[in-house]
Amino acid sequence: MFHRIPAPRSASNQPRDEFYGPVTYQTDFSVFKNTKITERFTSQLRLEVFNLFNNRNLGGLGTTLGGNLGKATHTQDIDNGAPRIGTGAARNVQLALKLLF
């Protein structure tokens, strides 16, 4: 196999964006109900579901030499430094009561 010498000021001879990480599938859902209390005050009951279908969204591929090269070993929330919240986390459900004035 023939390898070319990398161009000046470049790290390798691989073209840009040749490899892509895993695809993200996430569906978020929310339902809320407003109830008028007085002329000025309204209460809002909210139900929010993040990652409704509980899809597993893997993070980036390992880039260091060793056992994890080219493997996705974490989900996106862990790769982004926010475990259990944000894109890639398992299904999250939250219920809230909000007072609007």
Q: Note whether 46 and 55 are within 8 A (CB).
A: no
Question: What tens digit of pLDDT does each residue of 54-67 get?
Answer: 988 888 777 777 77
Who has greater pLDDT, 46 or 1?
46
Could you tell me the pTM of the whole model?
Answer: 0.67
Question: What tens digit of pLDDT does each residue of 1-14 get?
Answer: 556 666 677 666 66
Find where tokens 């894109």 sit. 87
CA dist list (Å): 70 to 17, 19, 20, 28, 52: 15, 10, 11, 29, 29
Question: What tens digit of pLDDT does each residue of 84-94 get?
Answer: 887 888 899 99
pLDDT of residue 22: 80
Positive or negative, the CA dihedral 65, 70, 75, 77 is: positive
